[in-house]
Amino acid sequence: MKGSQTGRADFTQVVTSPPKDGQAARTKTSSGSFEFQRPGRFKFIYKKPFEQTIVADGQTLWLYDADLNQVTQRTQAQALGSTPAALVASAPDLSALKAEFTLEAAPDQDGLQWVLARPKAKDGQLQSVRVGFSGEQLAALDILDSFGQRSAIRFTGMQTNAALPPGTFQFKPPAGADVLKQ
């Protein structure tokens, strides 16, 4: 995770909500593609089960929900803060990560080397993020939020220093979409 770098991968995300009101834990699986250019730019395109696009262009974070035909536009610095996305795409180097997170080695698991990142700000929605590496490549994120919900994201087919087309991280709201600025 050094300097300016690009990459792309496919991902699968499994979100597990804790048991509530006597009901068992619920899981929801999503999948899609991921592209990034460090520092500060990334794009998640969710294909299943619902189409959704999240783009960070370095200034603005865009979230497009195709079913609702709705775009949410937020200032990237405010939206990311100490989120998992900040770990992946916004931090240009280790010292930048250490400004937002306390980092410590975690035990190897599932053939990956893990780093545990806990946000220094205690008032956020994030308890911790485990970042899994296969060698030097990002392979997994295991996110625990303040509500006890766990999101496990696995990246496959990671290509670093990928040639990304110009405009990859530009987002233009589709015609007719409602745009909400936050």
pLDDT of res. 11: 93
pLDDT of res. 86: 60
pLDDT of res. 89: 59
pLDDT of res. 131: 86
pLDDT of res. 172: 94
pLDDT of res. 84: 64
Distance, CA of 63 to CA of 50 (rounded, Å): 13
List domains and CATH numbers for the chain. Answer: 5-181 (2.50.20.10)
Do residues 118 and 99 touch, judged by C-beta distance below 8 A? no
Low-confidence residues of the chain: pLDDT under 50: 1-3, 92
| Reduced 3-state DSSP string for 72-114 | EEEEHHHHHCCCHHHHHHHCCCHHHHHHHEEEEEEEEECCEEE
